[in-house]
Structure 1
Amino acid sequence: MIDKSNLTDRVYLLVRDKILNKEFKPGERINYDSLCEELGISKTPLRDAINRLQQDGLIEVKPRSGTFVYQPHAKNITDIYDVRKALECLSLNLGLERIPEEVVNQLLEDANQATLYLQQNNYKGYFSIDRNIHSTIIRYSNNDYVIKIMESLEYQLQWFSVLTSKNFDRPYHSNEQHKEILKAIQRKDRERAIELLAIHIEEAKIMMLEDYGA
């Protein structure tokens, strides 16, 4: 049973978290009746939440078949990471001069904290810092369209990372790349910072495809 205030939002967050935490597996059918019974709600807020999750790319509604957790394909990973690389590199090019020194310094401290999280097997803490570093670069682009597009991809990127996380050395390497990117931003070395960011995202795509078995 959940709080009935802001019901659709709460149902959306609950089902989204079940998908991101792999409680609902890719390809699994969503049983409306059992989920409504579990949450103590009617089908209307659940349908509204499912519509939002479909827009996020986490749910697939198949006519005459039912509602399923989306089963991503290798092409989805390739496409989304190619778009991500293009837009994040554009964001850094647009925003490098805008990012305050104290913000870059804080992100470097966060990256150091992420190393400690990894040593403690706190992957949730690490991924939170990872996403904040990238979202900060995007935010300082000051381009509303880039920001909106990247926000629409956020949960798919997070989900792909969860689904394909098999190599536990990878986050250490990724975090060291974060530090090098941030140091280049500190120096205002635009060309090197963008080059490092492009390499970082391309390597993430390749390793994710390997983990996914593509």
Structure 2
Amino acid sequence: MESIADQLYRILCDRITGGTYAPGSRLDPQAIATEFGVSRTPVREALARLEHDQLIVTRPRSGTFVARPGVTDVREVCQLRKGIEWVATGIAARTMPQDRIADLRDEAVEALRRADRGDYEPFFASDSRLHNEIVAATGNARLIRARSSAEPFVLWLRALGATGRRRVADSTRRHLEILDAIAARDVEGAQRAAAVHLDEVEQQMVADLS
């Protein structure tokens, strides 16, 4: 069972990463407590987690605000992802079951078809699942936890950026290159494709913020 603080964290995180709360907007702890009919204690706990995730900032004598991500944030998050996922992709190329690889590949191809019709949600779901499944395939709890800690910020940056058919197609092409190399048990090829993909993601996100 989720605690009240956990539920609040999830709801507030979704509101930030989904764009309901715009960057720079002020969060009123008392208003949040009143909205959900809870005390200030779970609100403080939820906000502390959001601050740890660097989704919000607290300024003395000013209040709590949704953060405004910048180029430095993008580079730091992408460097973290690249370090984790480069290692994870190499391990996945040795351990991920072929049926799971095939499932992820089919999902990526179908998501691209849906994007062609203007529906980008399947791509977002496929993208998140692919990267998380690759890290999960390591069985390394510390790698999984480190990647999970960056996930809210990754989702937020994606929501703040541009989405289009060409960008989805480019990402899908890289996803298929990664999966095909993993299926072939080509460790170096999988890691190389993952590194190129994450470099391109970083360049795109920096361009969006610029």
* TM-score, with length taken from structure 1: 0.91
Does the 8 A contact of 2:115 with 2:165 survive in 1?
no
Q: 1:113 to 1:167 in 2, by over 3 A?
A: closer
Alignment of 1:50 with 2:62, yes or no, is no
Alignment of 1:134 with 2:135, yes or no, is no
Q: How does 1:71-86 map to 2 (within 5 A)?
A: 71-86=68-83
Letter in 1 for 2:34: E
Distance 1:152 1:32 in 2: 23
Q: 1:23 to 1:158 in 2, by over 3 A?
A: same
Helix, strand or coil at the partner of 2:77: helix
Structure 2's unaligned 5+ residue stretches are none
Shift of 1:140: 1.3
Shift of 1:36: 2.7
Number of residue pairs matched by the alignment:
209
Distance 1:124 1:19 in 2: 17
Does the 8 A contact of 2:8 with 2:46 survive in 1?
yes
Shift of 1:128: 1.1
Distance 1:57 1:175 in 2: 29
Does the 8 A contact of 2:92 with 2:137 survive in 1?
yes
Distance 1:80 1:152 in 2: 10
Over residues 104-146 of structure 1, what are the superposed CA-to-partner deviations in whole Å (9 max), with x where a residue is unaligned? 1111111112112312333222111101101111111222221
Helix, strand or coil at the partner of 2:25: coil
Alignment of 1:182 with 2:184, yes or no, is no
Letter in 1 for 2:95: R
Alignment of 1:33 with 2:27, yes or no, is no
Q: How does 1:164-175 map to 2 (within 5 A)?
A: 164-175=161-172
Among 92, 95, 98, the alignment partner of 2:92 is 95
Does the 8 A contact of 1:77 with 1:205 survive in 2?
yes
Alignment of 1:159 with 2:166, yes or no, is no
Letter in 2 for 1:79: E
Among 196, 199, 202, the alignment partner of 1:202 is 199
Over residues 19-65 of structure 1, what are the superposed CA-to-partner deviations in whole Å (9 max), with x where a residue is unaligned? 11111011111022333333233322211111111122211112221
Distance 1:97 1:23 in 2: 41
Helix, strand or coil at the partner of 2:172: helix
Among 98, 117, 127, the alignment partner of 1:120 is 117
Alignment of 1:9 with 2:19, yes or no, is no
Letter in 2 for 1:175: T
Letter in 1 for 2:91: L
Does the 8 A contact of 2:55 with 2:66 survive in 1?
yes
Cα root mean square deviation, aligned: 1.6
Structure 1 stretches of 4+ with a deviation exceeding 4 A read: none
Helix, strand or coil at the partner of 2:64: strand
Does the 8 A contact of 1:95 with 1:142 survive in 2?
no
Does the 8 A contact of 2:116 with 2:165 survive in 1?
no
Partner of 1:22: 19
Q: How does 1:53-72 map to 2 (within 5 A)?
A: 53-72=50-69
Helix, strand or coil at the partner of 1:169: helix
Distance 2:102 2:164 in 1: 29
Helix, strand or coil at the partner of 2:94: coil
Distance 1:19 1:130 in 2: 20
Does the 8 A contact of 2:90 with 2:187 survive in 1?
yes
